[in-house]
Amino acid sequence: MFEILEAKLLAEKIYRMTVKAPNVARSCEPGQFLIVRTDEKSERIALTICDYDREKGTVVIVLQAVGASTMKMLSLKAGDSFADVVGPLGRPSDFVSEDLEEVKKRRYLFVAGGLGTAPVYPQVKWLKERGVDVDVIIGTKCHDTLIMEDEMISVAGKEHVFITTDDGSYGRSGMVTAVVEDLVKNEGRKYDICVAIGPMIMMKFVCKLTKELGLPTIVSMNPIMVDGTGMCGACRLVVGGKVKFACVDGPEFDGFEVDFDGAMKRMALYKTEEGRKLLELQEGNTHHGSCGA
């Protein structure tokens, strides 16, 4: 059993949970994710790691109630426990294994959309702790749905965090792409790498813009993961013309090579049993990842 040490409401139906998981905390890195089950009969939920403390043996997850399984998960309070917390899974962000002196020469731009703010946070924290220049754009529907602003400012610095809301109720007004364009074209900020994490449609249009700007962009395909081991076939996608699986080959990929339109159409089909059967028939032995082959 994995004890929940803290359960904090961040916004409507969005909670931040600190969980005692020493083995996970000891080895996890930014960019990776966990598989969590509320109890032995519950659905497996893939959740990216929002933070971790190796000394305390804790990991932090942020989750939103979108169905029965996540509603059940969010009914737990501090002192309750999860049946399973499995991880770390997936590949860490590239910069973790790259030469640190080369990483320090770069300037990163992070674009976080909605719940994507949670997986952006540990990456920004890791880089800033090592002296790497980072700017962060956080986009959300309105002020009430904004999460982790203070936490992001605490690691990146207030002057490096830019908030934008669709309805203009807080920060700047408009989409994250407008802020990217403003920072690069109007403020003359220069970046070496952009990292975009959020809804699929957001990542698609960020990549469309950054490609025009000549700014290499990494995206996280964690929104399409279900099983987390490659066996269910949910996170199959095409990257650079090749079949990949977000859970075992990612979740981070070169955004310019991801077939976003194909991935979004596939997500819609995967939601029904009939759609899943059709995909399995069409995709043959590439329907599952390496763990399910």
Residue 132 predicted with pLDDT over 50:
yes
Instruction: Tell me the C-alpha distance between 31 and 92, whole Å.
Output: 5
Q: What is the mean pLDDT of residues 106-114?
A: 95
Q: What is the mean pLDDT of the chain?
A: 86
Tell me 83's DSSP state: S
- Pairwise pLDDT comparison (247 vs 106), residue with the higher score: 106
Residue 278 predicted with pLDDT over 80:
no
Residue 274 predicted with pLDDT over 60:
no
pTM to 2 decimals?
A: 0.86
Q: Which residues pair with residue 52 across a beta bridge?
A: 59
Give the percent of the chain with pLDDT over 70. Answer: 86
- Give helix then strand counts, H and E, for the chain: 11, 16
Give the pLDDT score at 281: 45
- Of the CA atoms within 13 Å of residue 4, those in its CB half-sphere come to 23
Residue with the two structure tokens 């754009």: 137
Give the pLDDT score at 272: 53
Residues 158-196: tens digit of each pLDDT: 999 999 999 999 989 999 999 999 999 999 999 999 999
Residues 43-60: tens digit of each pLDDT: 888 888 999 999 999 999
CB atoms within 10 A of CB 155: 19
**Which residues are within 8 A (CB) of 86 and not within 5 positions of it... i.e. 6 or more apart?**
34, 35, 36, 228
Instruction: Tell me the C-alpha distance between 178 and 109, whole Å.
Output: 14
Amino acid making up residue 189: R
Give the pLDDT score at 280: 53
Give the pLDDT score at 215: 97
Residues 211-256: tens digit of each pLDDT: 999 999 999 987 655 555 555 566 777 888 888 877 777 789 999 9
Domains of the chain: 2-89 (2.40.30.10), 98-220 (3.40.50.80)
Range 104-119 burial, b when 16+ CB lie within 10 A, else e: eeeebbbbbbbbbbbb
Give the H/E segment covering residue 205: helix 200-213
134 Rama class: left (phi>0) / alpha (psi -120 to 50) / beta: beta
Least reliable range by pLDDT among 8-22, 262-276, 277-291: 277-291
